[in-house]
Amino acid sequence: MVKNYLKIACRGLLKRKGYSALNIGGLALGMTTTMLIGIWSYNELSYNKEFENYASIVQVMQSQTFGEEINTGTNQPLHLAPVLRNEYGDYFKHIVTSNFGGNQLLSVGEHKVSRTGNFMEPGITDMLSLKMLKGTRSALEDPTSLLISESTAKVLFGDVDPMGKTVKIGTSMQTQVAGIYKDLPQNSDFKNLSFIAPWELLNKTANFEERLGWGNNWFQVYAQLEDGANLNMVSTLIKDVKYNNIKNGESGSLKTKPVIHLHPMNKWHLYSRFENGINTGGAIDRVWLFGIIGIFILLLACINFMNLSTAKSVKRAKEVGIRKTIGSVKSQLMTQFLSESLLVVFIAFIVSCILVLLAQPFFNDLTGKTMNIPWESPFFWVFALLFILFTGIISGSYPAFYLSSFKPIKVLKGKLDGGLGASRFRKVLVVFQFTISVMLIFGTLTIFKQLEHVKNRSIGYDRDQLLYVPINTPEIVTHFDAVRNEILSSSDIKEVAASDVLNTGAYTTNGGFDWKGKDPNMSEEFNTLRATYGYGDMVNWEIKEGRDFSREFKSDSTAFIVNETAVRYMGLENPVGEMVKWGDNGSFKIVGVVKDMVTQSPFDQVKPMLFILHYGRFLNYINIKINKEGDTKSALAHIEKVFKKHDPESLFFYSFLDEEYAKNFVNEERTGRLASFFAFLAIFISCLGIFGLSAFVAEQRTKEIGVRKVLGASVYNLWQLLSREFVLMVLLSCCIAVPIGNYYMNGWMEKYAYRTDISWGVFVVTILGAMVITLLTVSFQSIKAAIVNPVKSLQTE
């Protein structure tokens, strides 16, 4: 019987080629979309899972109270790891202090490369279960050793054996290669760990032990729990470690009420967002969002199959009647129709696999990932089988139930008209289809509107033609004035100033401030930016009150310039001239107020900020403003020449500040592109279904159209007649989709402190877009039916 069912199904597919193409094409597109989203979601959900100790690795987090907000981050003091080892060592296998990494210059003789790596304590190698190609994991116990990744070894040494070779880090730290490890997984938080250098090397070179206390949160701490240790229990035990040490006489502020807790590796990527001390999600939001979109798009494709199958029911009515008359029972007929749908789904799955392979380069570029179909995984094939069965049953269940329920007497007498109930059900499904499609269009437009709103935000300074060069040697700082003057000797250069952080990433914070009228219970926090003379002119900030730093005032070495938000934060009515005490650093006078500048995420509100005149070891970047009328290429050549003169051992690197600023929008732009891609597929799949239904309606009303044309109906009248029902269904979809979409998109935008309102323009564009798309889809079949010769139309019956 199964063989017979498949034979009949194949004949039916070949007999109705256009109908079959619509069914298979729609299902294939839906399955392709779902598979792509599934591969992407699997990649997100499997982040860090390739590490053997995945279940027991944690990162130590810290929450501190500033004003009425609790800020949570990974920054930790130098002394935290030793105290955890001494007092709570029984609960941990490894506790590792690490710097925050970043690009470092690696030199082998005259050969130099820039690579991302970290200075870390020895336990990291066992914690991450590094796969050593040469050397041993214990090599980091030697403070002159260096572990490099396989790809870094290739870049530095080519085919030469690197073991024992000398590698210089930066301009002064000499190390020897003691091991080579296999590159770490791309879907992990350590994917860019190209080298690991001993923590003690950095610690001694920078003299951290003597300089830093519990108030300097400059580092990260990773740990691995002992077998059987309960994460929540250990978090509770260690929560007051920092507070107690401050209380016992260490430097720092008790007002921030620091709380230490552990964040497990399985939450690093997907649950990285904290709001007011509470973990509120992160990338998991996008996984849920696109996962739901994938399911809905698959449902849209299944609905097409249901609608077209039930719409074509009249064509198969006699077949059902005859089968029932000669003894077929309902269950046999349902099995037959389900087997037909499973065959269609299987063919669609084969087509979708081909489409996924073709779409992979584009989709990888869209998502910024490198993903492949795991053909070799048994799990994939089990999932594929379940996927086919699920899609086949969902898409074929209602047609099978409906077709098998025909009464043979009515069918053979020719009294079946397709069923009013089935017609209504088809309309409900069409409304559902377009409701989902319109919601996706609405959501996509809202995402791009929010993105455009933030991009057009006034950032308070001029980043055009502004570039920065990292300072790799203290010699640059020591001779900064000479370097500055040499760079300014080119007429293409407008201004040069150094700073400790970039104007696009001023995340450095400080506390311990006191001023007249301050609430004694207030735990304050200010973002700080240290810079040299000329910084304000270079970024072209706007002085609202007072003045800029000036060489005419020697007292500016103990002066602050504050932003508008800081004035409100401090509650100062006349800020210029007010004195602010800063811990052991002395008292500073506020000499100016500048307009708020966006120096962090453009999606967040501006934070209270202090600008400090500084010449010294904290300077990390030289910022250079090129004249807008100048020759950029000539200016860059001149700047490179100056830097090579003063720092010949380092690679010359520069980046424009507008490029750094653009990085803030990468995730949102990616989300927007993905949403628009899926919205397009959803509307296209829905249009395939409505195209097939409109063709069926036109076919069913062939005689009516002929009679109306004979009686004088115009092409416009007939087009209106055939299109009206579909337009009304889509209009109803818009009425349902817009308020639902508005509710969910308002919830989505709440995660942004700086956000736009959803205007009526978005509603209007969404509705008009849906109506235009519907009319274009339906009009082809409507006009085609309307221009047919009425004599031919009347002859069809």
DSSP line for 58-104: EEEEEEEEETTEEEEES-EETTHHHHHHHHHGGGEEEEEEE----EE
pLDDT confidence bin for 60, thresholds 50/70/90: very high
Residues 92 and 231 in one domain: yes
* 658 within a domain of the structure (yes/no): no
As a whole number of angstroms, the distance between CA 47 and CA 60 comes to 19
Q: What integer pLDDT is reported at residue 545 of this predicted model?
A: 95
In terms of C-beta density within 10 A (0-12 exposed, 13-18 middle, 19 or more buried), how is residue 795 classed? exposed
Residues 374 and 506 in one domain: no
As a whole number of angstroms, the distance between CA 112 and CA 607 comes to 39
Q: What integer pLDDT is reported at residue 98 of this predicted model?
A: 96
| Cβ atoms 550, 556 nearer than 8 A | yes
Q: What integer pLDDT is reported at residue 368 of this predicted model?
A: 84
Residues 623 and 739 in one domain: no
- Residue 683: pLDDT over 60: yes
The pTM for the full model equals: 0.82
Amino acid at 550: S
- Residue 46: pLDDT over 60: yes
Please list, in sequence order, all residues whose beta carbon lies within 8 angstroms of the beta carbon of residue 284, skipping any fewer than 6 positions away: 270, 271
Please list, in sequence order, all residues whose beta carbon lies within 8 angstroms of the beta carbon of residue 25, skipping any fewer than 6 positions away: 351, 688
> Domain span at residue 477?
473-649
Of the residues 620, 649, 678, which one is the last residue of a structural domain? 649
| Cβ atoms 500, 507 nearer than 8 A | no
| Cβ atoms 613, 551 nearer than 8 A | no
Q: What integer pLDDT is reported at residue 252 of this predicted model?
A: 47
As a whole number of angstroms, the distance between CA 356 and CA 34 comes to 10
- Residue 796: pLDDT over 70: no
* 424 within a domain of the structure (yes/no): no
Residues 671 and 792 in one domain: yes
Of the residues 622, 649, 676, which one is the last residue of a structural domain? 649
Residues 297 and 352 in one domain: yes
Residues 225 and 101 in one domain: yes
Residues 80 and 207 in one domain: yes
Residues 127 and 36 in one domain: no
- Residue 416: pLDDT over 60: no
* 250 within a domain of the structure (yes/no): yes
Helix axes 666-700, 702-710, angle to 10 degrees: 70
* 428 within a domain of the structure (yes/no): no
* 217 within a domain of the structure (yes/no): yes
As a whole number of angstroms, the distance between CA 95 and CA 89 comes to 8
* 627 within a domain of the structure (yes/no): yes
User: pLDDT digit string (tens) for 561-600?
Assistant: 999 999 999 999 999 999 999 988 899 999 999 999 999 9
- Residue 744: pLDDT over 90: no
Residues 452 and 570 in one domain: no
* 429 within a domain of the structure (yes/no): no
Please list, in sequence order, all residues whose beta carbon lies within 8 angstroms of the beta carbon of residue 554, skipping any fewer than 6 positions away: none
Residues 10 and 131 in one domain: no
Residues 110 and 255 in one domain: yes
User: How many angstroms separate the first and last alpha carbons of the chain?
Assistant: 36
- Mean pLDDT, to the nearest integer, of 365-391? 85
Residues 61 and 35 in one domain: no
* 182 within a domain of the structure (yes/no): yes
User: pLDDT digit string (tens) for 225-277?
Assistant: 999 999 999 999 999 999 888 865 544 467 788 999 999 999 999 999 898 88
Which is nearest to 610 in space by CA: 518, 517, 754, 506? Answer: 506
User: pLDDT digit string (tens) for 491-534?
Assistant: 999 999 999 999 998 888 888 899 999 988 888 889 999 999 99
Average pLDDT score over the chain? 86
The share of the chain scoring above pLDDT 70, in percent, equals 88
User: pLDDT digit string (tens) for 697-713?
Assistant: 766 676 777 777 777 77
- Count of domains for the chain: 4
